[in-house]
Amino acid sequence: MAKLDGRVALVTGSGRGIGQQVALQLAAEGASVVVNDLDEAPATETVELIKSKGGEAVACVGSVTDPAFPKRFIDTAMDNYGDIHIIVNNAGYTWDATIQKMSEEQFDAMMDVHLKAPWRILKEASEIIRIKSKGEAEKGERVMRKVVNISSIAGSRGNAGQTNYSSAKAALIGMTKTLSKEWGRYNVCVNAVAFGVIETRLTEATDEKTEIEIEGNRVPVGVPTAVAAGIKMMVPLGRAGTPEEGAGGVMLFCLPESDYVSGQLLEVTGGG
């Protein structure tokens, strides 16, 4: 019997990279997964990968910053699977500049996607979780639920050129610790994972100017080859982490082995 049989997991930004690996690993342990991505094709790909391995998944496509998204996301879980057990707030991107060159639009965009969107999703789920927990308690049952918020060492340590991103990720850590205190009575463990250098399209080593379009904005991605090499040299393990390894850190907080771990920040950095 898989460790997450009968569990329902929701993972934002799970069409690519770390989020996709989180969704695949949750499904491999038996969870039914609500997959989200800004674009339909990546979300569909993740769903198909899960189903090809005998798992269960459904897509909920759209931007997490859309005020209407949280209800649609939670409703997708409830309509298809009837419960919520795991929420992983993973969706996001970076939009860097030094403070004198950063626009308020850049600052607000990071706050919206990395802080307000997770808050809205968790708020939308809150009443369902409260009611489910109350019903379980009345039957003498204890059902543990998990929230994992994805932060960054930019949030826990700071990083030049990222006053917007690091501020949002730091605030997310504060929200995590506060919600662990509010939701403990509902048997919900709320934790955060802060990544160091993980190989994704946002951190890919390249000397070409590469941009992606996110909600009408052209956002640079990738890291200059020389800079990327220098960053990896500072990691004690001597390399960037893979998306699978990043997802492994998230899984630690989703499995039953962490049922008495809450309000914690785990840095997944290769020792850096």
Digit-coded pLDDT (tens) for 19-50:
999 999 999 999 999 999 999 999 999 999 99
Whether the Cβ atoms of residue 77 and residue 84 lie closer than 8 Å to each other? yes
Alpha-carbon distances of 268 from 30, 176, 247, rounded to whole Å: 24, 17, 10
| Confidence (pTM) | 0.94
- Look up residue 119 and give its two tokens: 């808050």
Residues sharing a CB contact under 8 Å with residue 171, sequence separation 6 or more, in sequence order:
111, 115, 155
Count of Cβ atoms closer than 10 Å to residue 232 Cβ? 16
- Per residue in 61-78, pLDDT (tens digit) is 999 999 999 999 999 999
Q: Tell me whether residue 165 is one of the annotated catalytic residues.
A: yes
Of residues 1 and 54, which shows the higher confidence score?
A: 54
3-state secondary structure of 179: helix
> Which of 187, 170, 172, 174 lies closest to 86, judged by CA?
187
- DSSP class of 256: G
Q: Which of 93, 165, 186, 260 is catalytic?
A: 165
Q: Does 160 have pLDDT greater than 90?
A: yes
Under the banding of pLDDT at 50, 70 and 90, the label for residue 200 is confident
Taking the alpha carbons at both ends of the chain, their separation in whole angstroms is: 36
If phi over 0 gives left and psi between -120 and 50 gives alpha, with beta otherwise, what is residue 19?
Answer: alpha
CATH for 8-198+242-268 (2.40.50.140, 3.40.50.720, 3.40.120.10, 3.40.50.10470): 3.40.50.720
